[in-house]
Amino acid sequence: MKKQNIEDIFSSIEHFSSVPPPELWDKIEEQLDQPKKKKRAILWWSAAASLLLGLSIPSVLYFNSKSDKAISPGAIENKNVFLNKEIDTDQDSKNSTIKSNTNIQTEKTIRVSSIKNKSEQSNQNAANQNNLVVVEANSSSKVNAETSHEKTKENVKSETIAAKSTLTEEKLPNGFSPNQNTSFKSNDNKGVENANAIVLNTSLQNKNISKEAVAKDKFDAENKMAIAANDNIQNKNAPKEAVAKDKLDAENKAAIAANDNIQNKNTSKESVAKDKFDAENKTAITANDNIQNKNISKESVAKDKFDAENKTAIAANDNIQNKNAPKEAVAKDKFDAENKTAIAANDNIQNKNAPKESVAKDKFDAENKMAIAANDNIQNKNASKEFIAKDKFDAENKTAITANNNIQNKTNGSQSGIVTENLPSQKAIAFTERKNTDATVLLTKTDSLQLAELHNLEESLKNPKKEKEIDEKASLISKAEKWSVEVFAGIANSENYKNDKTLGNVNSPKQSNAYGVKTNYKLNKKWAVSSGLKINELGQSLANVSYIDTKSIAFMKPEEVSADRSPSTRISNSTDFVFVASATNDNVTNNVNNGVMNTASFESGDVDQRLKYLEMPFEVSYFILNKNKTTVSLNTGGFVGKLISNDVYLNGSAIGENQNANSFVYGSLLSSTLQYRLYKKTNVFIEPGMNYYVNPLDNQSFNQFQWSFNFGLNVSF
C-alpha cells in the first residue's frame, strides 16, 4: 500500500473553494452603501499637525518674549548691553536704516519697542500722535543707559563718548507707514574697536508736546526686531479666517462627497439594473476550468449549445486532455448565435470515462441576457450517460449567473451533485449553489488515488504561477505597519577633534541634553525615511580663561586691553567682561608692568558656550536586522537647525551671548537604532549616533562634532 505523509493528504484541499451564501453579498453591499469612515491616516496627520502647531506656538511666543526681554528695564539695570548683528553691520557700513514693515500698529509698536525704556507718558504721546519717528544714534558713544536723562548723564564713563539720539517728530496723519515710518539711523564714527562696549544713548524730542527732550533711551538692535515682530500681530487673525474658510470648504466638500456617494450609489444601481435588463450587448460566459477529459469515446467533451439568436459564441477549450477519443471531435460547439456573444471558456477539462454523453451541456436560451457560468475545477468521473451539468437558463431578459465550483462527480451513474436550476422568468440573478449534502460523496480508494493523481496534474499545470506566489508571500510580510511616531530624549557630548583653540585655550567637550519627536515611514522591508523636530544643544567649555571685569575698573580704557586683540578673539558680546587670549597675555602683562593697568583686575575663570537649536532632521534608515521583536537599523541624513538660545557662561553665570552665532545651522548625522517590541505596537529603542554641525559660529572655532545617545518610545500604526 502506498504511503503518504500528512501534508500530501491535506494537499488535496489546497485549492479548496466553496460558494459563499448569497446573503453575504447583500451584507457586503449594505456595508458598501454606508458612508465611509474617515481614514486613520487623516487622524494621524491631524495629530502630527497639532503637535507641530503646539511646538511652533510656544516657539513664536518664546521669540517674542525674548524681544521684550532685550529691552526690559532689568536688562538696562544690569548694564548688559547686547549688540546684535545689525549693529555690527551698521558699524561696517557707517549708515543703515531699518525700516519697519507694513501693518505696524502704531500704538502697540511704539509701546513694545520703547515703552520699557521710556517714561510711559512720552511714549504714549508719541504714539497717540502717530508721528514719524526718526532716531539717529551715534553708535560710537558709550553710555550706560538709564531711564532718566540725568542718570544717563551721570553714568557716562568716557569723554570720548558722545551720545545723541534724537527723536524727531513730524505730524503725519497716518502715523507709521511702510515708506514714511520709523527709521533708525546708526552712525558709527569711531569704527569697530570699541564695539564691545557700545551703548546707544538716545534722546527723544517731542516737538509737538514740549519741544524738549523727553528721555534718553537705549535702543539696541533687538528693539528693532521687536518692532518687526509686531508685524505678526495683525496676521494672527488671518490663519483663523483661513481655518474658518477651510472648514466651510471642508463642509462643502463633505456635502459634495456625500452627493457623490449618492450619485455613485444610484449609478451603480443603475449599472446593475442595466446589466440585468439591458437586452442588447449581452454576454454568456461559461468558464469551465480544470476539466480533463479522459477516455472519451463517442461524444464530444463539451457541447455548449448557444441558441442565442443574433449572438456570437466563442468556445475555448484549453488544455483539454483527450485520451482515447476515437471518433468524435474534442469539442463541438454549436453556435446559433446571432448578433450576440456567448463565451464558453472551458479550461483544463477533465473527463474520465465519459463514454457517450457530453461532459457539460450548457444551454443558453438566453435571449437578450447575460449569462455567466463559472464552473471551476469540475472533475467528472464515470459519468456514464447523464449530463453532469445541466444549466438551463430560460430567463428571458435577465442575467443568469451560475457559479459552480469544485463539482465532483464520482461513480454516480446518473446525476451529479450539481444543482440545476431553472430560473424563473422574474429572477434576475441566480446562483447555482452547491449544497454540501449533494456535493459530499464518499470516495473510494481508487478515487482517492485518482484524486491525488489529478492534483499532481494540476500542480504541474500551475508551476508557472509559483514565481507569482513567491512574490505574494514576500509582499504579505511587508504588509506591516508603515507609520510610526517616536518620542525620545538623550544626552549629547559636543567635541572637537581638530584641537581647535579659543582664546588660546583648547576647546573642551561639553555635555548637554536633547529631546524631540520623530515620524518614520517604512518604504519597504529594508528602508525607511523619517523626520521630526528635536531640541539639541551644542556647546564647549574653556578652562582658565583670563578676563578683566570692567565693572571693577573705574576708568579703564578698553583699547588698553584690546589693542592687541583681533576681533576674532571676542567670544561674547558682554561689555562687562573682556576676555584676554593667552597670546596677548604678555602684552597685558607689559601694560601691567608699565602701570597702565591695574593688576588686581586680571582674573581667570571657566567659560561655557552654549548654542541651543531647534533641529529638523531628515533621515534614511536601513534595517540590517529584523528578527522577531528586535530590529536594528542604520540611519543617516542631514538636519537643519534654528538657533533658539545663545548663551555664554562665566563661572556658571550668564554674561551674554556668543559672538557671530549663525541663526541657522546645517549638518549631517549618522546613528544606529536598536529597537525592541515591548507590547503590541509599542517599541522601546536606544540610538547611539553622531552629528556634525557645519559652521555654528563665524570667525570662531567651536565644537562641531557631537556624540549622542538617545532612548525613547516608538508607536507604530
Partner 1 sequence: MHNQINTFLKNDLETYIKQCVQNDRGGQLKIYQLFSPVLYGICLKYMKNEDDAKDVFQEAFIIVFEKIHQYKFEGSFEGWLKRIFINKLIETLNKKRKESFFLDVFDPDVNVTDEEELEIFPIEQEKLLEYIRDLPDQYRMVFNLYVFEKMKHKEIAELLKISEGTSKSNLNRAKRILQKRILSIKNFKTA
Should residue 481 be labelled a site residue for partner 1 when binding is judged by CB under 8 A?
A: no
| Of residues 3 and 240, the one with the C-beta less far from partner 1 | 3
Residues of span 488-517 touching partner 1 by CB under 8 A: none
Among 154, 469, 481, 698, binds partner 1 (CB under 8 A): 469
C-alpha dihedral over 409, 413, 414, 417, to 10 degrees?
A: -20
CA–CA dist 698, 682 (Å, integer) = 43
Should residue 475 be labelled a site residue for partner 1 when binding is judged by CB under 8 A?
A: yes
Among 60, 61, 243, 449, binds partner 1 (CB under 8 A): 449
Should residue 401 be labelled a site residue for partner 1 when binding is judged by CB under 8 A?
A: yes
Instruction: Measure the CA angle with vertex 11, ends 10 and 15; round to 5°.
Output: 115
Give φ, ψ of 259 to 5 degrees: -65, -40
* 197 neighbors 550 (Cβ within 8 angstroms): yes
Sign, CA torsion 581/583/589/590? negative
Should residue 554 be labelled a site residue for partner 1 when binding is judged by CB under 8 A?
A: no
CA–CA dist 12, 28 (Å, integer) = 30
Should residue 120 be labelled a site residue for partner 1 when binding is judged by CB under 8 A?
A: no
Should residue 42 be labelled a site residue for partner 1 when binding is judged by CB under 8 A?
A: no
Should residue 682 be labelled a site residue for partner 1 when binding is judged by CB under 8 A?
A: no
Binding segment toward partner 1, per CB under 8 A, in 52-60, 257-265, 528-536, 662-670:
257-265
Among 440, 599, 604, 651, binds partner 1 (CB under 8 A): 440
| Of residues 498 and 629, the one with the C-beta less far from partner 1 | 629
Binding segment toward partner 1, per CB under 8 A, in 188-196, 245-253, 448-456, 701-709:
448-456
* 527 neighbors 511 (Cβ within 8 angstroms): no
* 399 neighbors 370 (Cβ within 8 angstroms): yes
Name residue, grid cell 540590517: 624
Among 385, 465, 498, 551, binds partner 1 (CB under 8 A): 465
Should residue 676 be labelled a site residue for partner 1 when binding is judged by CB under 8 A?
A: no
Among 237, 426, 477, 554, binds partner 1 (CB under 8 A): 477
| Of residues 149 and 282, the one with the C-beta less far from partner 1 | 282
Smallest gap, in angstroms, from Cβ of residue 476 to partner 1?
6
Binding segment toward partner 1, per CB under 8 A, in 3-11, 69-77, 158-166, 386-394:
3-11
Should residue 330 be labelled a site residue for partner 1 when binding is judged by CB under 8 A?
A: no
Should residue 24 be labelled a site residue for partner 1 when binding is judged by CB under 8 A?
A: yes
Among 9, 53, 238, 255, binds partner 1 (CB under 8 A): 9
CA–CA dist 224, 215 (Å, integer) = 18
Smallest gap, in angstroms, from Cβ of residue 677 to partner 1?
8
578-585 CB contacts, 8 Å cutoff, 24+ apart? 578/196, 578/547, 578/548, 578/550, 579/503, 579/545, 579/546, 579/547, 579/607, 580/503, 580/545, 580/546, 580/547, 580/548, 581/503, 581/504, 582/503, 582/504, 582/505, 582/546, 583/504, 585/504, 585/546
Smallest gap, in angstroms, from Cβ of residue 39 to partner 1?
9
Smallest gap, in angstroms, from Cβ of residue 294 to partner 1?
19
Closest CA to 607 of 539, 694, 514: 539
Show the site string, 192-221: x = touches partner 1 by CB under 8 A, - = not. ------------------------------
* 144 neighbors 157 (Cβ within 8 angstroms): yes
Should residue 47 be labelled a site residue for partner 1 when binding is judged by CB under 8 A?
A: no
| Of residues 263 and 589, the one with the C-beta less far from partner 1 | 263
Give the chain's end-to-end CA distance (angstroms, integer). 54
* 487 neighbors 712 (Cβ within 8 angstroms): yes
* 123 neighbors 111 (Cβ within 8 angstroms): yes
Should residue 7 be labelled a site residue for partner 1 when binding is judged by CB under 8 A?
A: yes
Sign, CA torsion 225/227/228/233? positive
CA–CA dist 598, 560 (Å, integer) = 11
Binding segment toward partner 1, per CB under 8 A, in 29-37, 196-204, 233-241, 549-557:
29-37
Among 436, 460, 499, 594, binds partner 1 (CB under 8 A): 436
Beta bridge partners of 254: none
Binding segment toward partner 1, per CB under 8 A, in 31-39, 499-507, 533-541, 646-654:
31-39
| Of residues 17 and 93, the one with the C-beta less far from partner 1 | 17
CA–CA dist 244, 506 (Å, integer) = 57
| Of residues 105 and 626, the one with the C-beta less far from partner 1 | 626
Residue type at position 69 = K
Smallest gap, in angstroms, from Cβ of residue 108 to partner 1?
52
Greatest C-alpha distance within the chain: 132
Among 319, 353, 397, 531, binds partner 1 (CB under 8 A): 319
CA–CA dist 520, 467 (Å, integer) = 31
Name residue, grid cell 542718570: 151
| Of residues 396 and 469, the one with the C-beta less far from partner 1 | 469
Should residue 269 be labelled a site residue for partner 1 when binding is judged by CB under 8 A?
A: yes
Give φ, ψ of 52 to 5 degrees: -60, -45
Among 156, 209, 213, 374, binds partner 1 (CB under 8 A): 374
Pairing type for strands 653-656 and 630-650 reads: antiparallel
Residues of span 331-370 touching partner 1 by CB under 8 A: 343, 345
Should residue 11 be labelled a site residue for partner 1 when binding is judged by CB under 8 A?
A: yes
Should residue 236 be labelled a site residue for partner 1 when binding is judged by CB under 8 A?
A: no
Should residue 452 be labelled a site residue for partner 1 when binding is judged by CB under 8 A?
A: yes
Smallest gap, in angstroms, from Cβ of residue 107 to partner 1?
56
| Of residues 18 and 653, the one with the C-beta less far from partner 1 | 18
Number of residues that bind partner 1 (CB under 8 A): 78
Smallest gap, in angstroms, from Cβ of residue 26 to partner 1?
10
Residue 350 burial by Cβ neighbours in a 10 Å radius (0-12, 13-18, 19+):
buried
C-alpha grid cell for residue 10?
491535506
Among 220, 362, 447, 537, binds partner 1 (CB under 8 A): 447
Smallest gap, in angstroms, from Cβ of residue 2 to partner 1?
5
Closest CA to 635 of 703, 693, 710: 710
Should residue 38 be labelled a site residue for partner 1 when binding is judged by CB under 8 A?
A: no
| Of residues 286 and 621, the one with the C-beta less far from partner 1 | 286
Binding segment toward partner 1, per CB under 8 A, in 75-83, 107-115, 383-391, 402-410:
402-410
